[in-house]
Each structure stands twice: as structure tokens, then as C-alpha cells.
A and B are shown apart, each in its own frame.
Chain A
């Protein structure tokens, strides 16, 4: 796409998104806020899982850790206050903490490849959740409060709509910068064939750690803001296995490893579950599951993958004939 056109389109989307809460009611503001949050998470997951091919099945560990870090670190450092700065500091510290945790965790866990890494992350998230729940100091069992320094006259849903919107934009810009950089090519080569990547001079260990830390930091920040947005949360509000799996589904539906895939997938899945199926609460998980299966079967590359194939029919027919003759 033309660069100026892309920038113009981006600007229009951003302005439209900024004006949207004026027309839609609180319910849809919250739905879109949830979309911003989830899409941000999906993008962060995609930097590690999509670009470098290291699928984490326990990424919610960083949501939970971010939320609890926001509740505990800043107050315990004596940085107590209720002004807007208190929230900013708490969120940044939470992101930093998650990044640091990931950097330490990276040494043992990134030596595992493929499904072993995925399961190890699942284990890490379960263990961390149990620790936060059962060690008294974390107050995971009884829950913690995070008070939002809301600007005067602003509705809560509008405030978090804008914050999550800005974070989604940040995640997207970072993801785009990564994808087009040397760092991004290193991650892609690791995903495609890690041993060959090494043979081409790619310091695979270092780039894997960088991707893991970056992904964890972004998720930690989103988790901290999520903690503020709900106000009060216990362990199981934020350490949620279903959310870890949802992230992967969002990316799968949209197209893993693509730039827009996580956003598109999140939009589709949230539209289906929150809007279309909101009247069929008894069977909505059943229908959602069926839809996911159908989409994966029909479009293994996700929406973006299907779009690419559609735009390059020649390539598709050539692979089809190759498959037919094989």
C-alpha cells in the first residue's frame, strides 16, 4: 500500500476512534474498550508467538503479575498518592517488573522449543497464580483495590476507553517497528528454522530473550491498567487461563505472525461473542467453539492469510496443482 495513503487511513481511524464514545452508549464503549485491551494483548503475544514462533500458553501470567505489581510495588516503595502520576508510575513499574521477571525466566524456559515451551509457560502461569493466591502478602485471595485518579467530569468507561486505545496504538506501532527491523527478521528466521538462523549469524538466544521481555512488558502494562479499570480484583480476576487461550485464538483467527492479524482476529471474535451472541448466553460458548473450528479449517492462515491468497491467486493455484500432483 502507498505510504501516504496508509498514514492518512491510520489518522482517520484514530480520529474516528477518538470521537466514537460521544455517539455510542456506555455498553458499547465498554465493548470497544475490551476490544482495545484484548487486541493489545494479542499483538503483544504475537510479537513472541507469531514472529518468533514461541507459542506461550500462559501469557496471562503477565496480566496478573502486572495488575498485582501495580497494586503492591508503588505503595511499598512509599510512592503513595492518588494523583494521575501515581497511576502512571504504578503502571510503568508493573511493566518494568514483568520485563525483569521475563528476563530471568528466559534463561531456563527459552531453551525449550515448540510444545515444551508452550506447556512450560502454562505451568509458570499456574504456579504464579497459586503463589499470589496463597501467599498472604500478595492478598490474592482476599483481593486488592486500585483507585483510579479519574479526571473531573469524565466517565470511567470513557477514561479507560482512551487509555486502552492509546495502549493498543502503542502496541501496534511497536509491533510494526519490530516486524520491519533487523530484530524482526531475526525473529522470523528463528520461527522458520532456528538452527539455520544460527548458521546465518543470528544470535538466536539474544533475540528470543528480547522478544520475550518486550512481549511480557507490554502485557504487564496492559494488565496493570486492567487492574485499575476493574478497581478491585482477586487472583482469579487476572490470572485467567481462558484469557491465555483466547489470545491464541484471536491471533489464529486473524493470522498468526501477521501485523494486522491479532487486531482483525480480536475484532471478529469479540463481535461474535459480545454482540452477536449476547442474546444466546446459554449456548454462546458452543457456537463460538464451532465458529473457531470452521474458520481454522477453512482458513488455516487466518483472515489475513486468506486475504493474501485471494490477492495472489496465481500462487494459490500453483500450490494446489503441486499438491494435486504430489
Chain B
């Protein structure tokens, strides 16, 4: 595998004694679509919050392109190339879709081309051109999710963290979202995807990390992970000793 864009070693986060993430190691290969799955409450969103700097690490280290990012505040982490699309959409409701994306294009990673070009590109990737002049307030869930991706992509990241972009979407919208993420990857941005929809995950991810109760339980290609007994038991529970008829 090529070099890793993001690596974690012994990543740990405790909230007053409750350990949400414990000694998790991970390596995200550059140019991949990397999947993170796990049951509810496994610590997936917490891990994203640690990477974006929303919470400080309790222990361990996260390196982005070889550099430790622990001392950097959230906005600096975005400026060096880490973007995030939220699970619960957080649009700027009073601004239009275009203006929402423009904030990302005007800030984010410095340099690059004209912000307006970036805005157009991001809107095209997410398929939001027709909604560009609508305020974000009245958008459907599907459009809001696309807006999350477009706005994050507009910051010109080298790594995009997508937190359950398909949650609550219908099959058509899920399909569109999956295509959208592929386009993002094809343009050179590594994608780290958290997802519940196993079909979406297994169809587009190059490799998958599985966590449960804050600990890593499996890692590998989609086929390997799906066949892993630990993963099956985490999702479906232990096989019952006695059959209930």
C-alpha cells in the first residue's frame, strides 16, 4: 500500500473515567476510501471529533502527513487539509447553498484556484447546481447531506471525513451519495467514511476498520471484515446457547 495520510497510535479518549476510545491504532492510506464501522455508541463520532480537534486526546497520537496534529486548533487542522461533513447536517441556514459552499472555498486550505471556481466544482460534484440560490433552511435531508459534502470539499482537503452521509437517505439518494464520494476520491481527496449502511460501505470502501465499545476489533478489506466472527458478533450478538423456538 502507498503511504498513509493519517495515522493514529494508541488513540485514547476518556470522559471522566468513561473510556470512549481505547488504544485504537489506524492507518488511512492516501487516495483510498477508508471505512469505519461499528455498532451504535462504539465511538465512531468521538474518533472524528478527536481527529478534527473538537475534543483533545487523552492519550496517544494522531499524525497527518507525518506531522503530529495534537497541538493544532480545529480551524488549523482544516487549513492543513482535514475537512469534515457532519452526520447531523449543520448548514448555515440563513445563507444560500452557494454562500454556504463559498465559506468553505474562501477559507479552508490556503492557496489554490479562484474560490468561485472551487464553489462551482463543489456544487457540480454534489449535484447541487439547481439549488444553488436557495437558502439552506428549506432543503431536504438528502440535499443537506450533499451540501455537507460540497461545503467540506470546497475547503480543498486532502482528507475528507464523512460522518454517516447516507443515514436516513432513500436508496436513490444513497446511490447518488456513493457516486458523489467516489468523485471526491477520484479528484485526489482521501475519503474516510463512517457508515451504518453495510451495502454502501462494502461497495465503495477499499479497506475498513471496525470498532466496538471504543476498541478496534477488526481491520481489512470489506470481504475480510464481513467474514470476521468478531464483527458478526458485535453486530448481531453472540450465538445463543439454547435455541428459542
How many of chain A's residues have a CB under 8 angstroms from any CB in B? Answer: 23
- B109 interface contact, C-beta 8 A: yes
Name the CB-closest residue of A to B53. Answer: A198
Q: Are A188 and B138 in contact (CB under 8 A)?
A: no
Q: Report B233 CB to chain A, min CB distance, Å.
A: 35
Contact residues in B for A111 (Cβ distance below 8 Å) = none
Name the CB-closest residue of B to A197. Answer: B103
Which of B73, B102, B109 contacts A185, CB < 8 Å? B102
Q: Are A189 and B75 in contact (CB under 8 A)?
A: no
Q: Report B73 CB to chain A, min CB distance, Å.
A: 8
- Rounded to whole angstroms, the CA-CA distance of A5 and B94 in the bound complex is 27
- B26 interface contact, C-beta 8 A: no
Q: Are A201 and B75 in contact (CB under 8 A)?
A: yes
How many of chain B's residues have a CB under 8 angstroms from any CB in A? Answer: 31
- B183 interface contact, C-beta 8 A: no
Contact residues in B for A186 (Cβ distance below 8 Å) = 103, 106-107
Which of A188, A201, A319, A322 contacts B109, CB < 8 Å? A201
Q: Are A198 and B138 in contact (CB under 8 A)?
A: no
Which residue of B79, B91, B107, B134 has the most chain A CB atoms within 10 A of its CB atom? B107
Q: Are B92 and A199 in contact (CB under 8 A)?
A: no
Task: State which residues 85-112 of B face A: CB under 8 Å.
Answer: 86, 90-95, 99, 102-104, 106-109
Contact residues in B for A203 (Cβ distance below 8 Å) = 75
Q: Are B107 and A196 in contact (CB under 8 A)?
A: no
Contact flags (1/0) for B56-80 with A, using CB distance below 8 Å? Answer: 0000000000000000011100110
Contact flags (1/0) for A155-182 with B, using CB distance below 8 Å? Answer: 0000000000000000000000000001
Known contacts being A185-B106, A200-B107, is A192 close to B93, with CB within 8 Å?
Answer: yes
Which of B78, B92, B155 contacts A188, CB < 8 Å? B92
Contact residues in A for B74 (Cβ distance below 8 Å) = 198-199
- Rounded to whole angstroms, the CA-CA distance of A267 and B84 in the bound complex is 44
Name the CB-closest residue of A to B138. Answer: A319
Q: Report B110 CB to chain A, min CB distance, Å.
A: 8
Q: Are B151 and A200 in contact (CB under 8 A)?
A: yes
- Rounded to whole angstroms, the CA-CA distance of A19 and B135 in the bound complex is 41
Q: Are A196 and B86 in contact (CB under 8 A)?
A: yes
Q: Are A201 and B78 in contact (CB under 8 A)?
A: yes
Q: Report B29 CB to chain A, min CB distance, Å.
A: 24
- B55 interface contact, C-beta 8 A: no
Q: Report B95 CB to chain A, min CB distance, Å.
A: 6
- Rounded to whole angstroms, the CA-CA distance of A215 and B32 in the bound complex is 47
- A4 interface contact, C-beta 8 A: no
Q: Report B102 CB to chain A, min CB distance, Å.
A: 6
Q: Report B82 CB to chain A, min CB distance, Å.
A: 9
Contact residues in B for A192 (Cβ distance below 8 Å) = 91-95
Name the CB-closest residue of A to B74. Answer: A198
- B228 interface contact, C-beta 8 A: no
Q: Are A201 and B138 in contact (CB under 8 A)?
A: no
Q: Are B135 and A204 in contact (CB under 8 A)?
A: no
Contact residues in B for A185 (Cβ distance below 8 Å) = 99, 102-103, 106-107
**Lowest 5 A-B CB distances belong to which pairs?**
A192-B92, A201-B78, A201-B107, A201-B108, A198-B74
Q: A192-B93, A202-B103, A318-B138 are in contact. List 11 more A-B contacts (CB 8 A).
A: A182-B106, A185-B99, A185-B102, A185-B107, A188-B99, A192-B92, A199-B78, A200-B155, A201-B108, A203-B75, A315-B135
Q: List 29 A-B residue pairs with CB atoms under 8 Å apart, sorted by A's residue number.
A: A185-B102, A185-B103, A186-B106, A186-B107, A188-B92, A188-B103, A192-B93, A192-B95, A195-B54, A195-B90, A196-B92, A198-B74, A198-B75, A198-B78, A199-B74, A199-B84, A200-B78, A200-B83, A200-B104, A200-B108, A201-B155, A202-B75, A202-B103, A202-B107, A203-B75, A204-B75, A315-B134, A319-B138, A322-B138
Q: What is A's interface to B at a CB cutoff of 8 Å?
A: 182, 185-186, 188-189, 191-193, 195-204, 257, 315, 318-319, 322
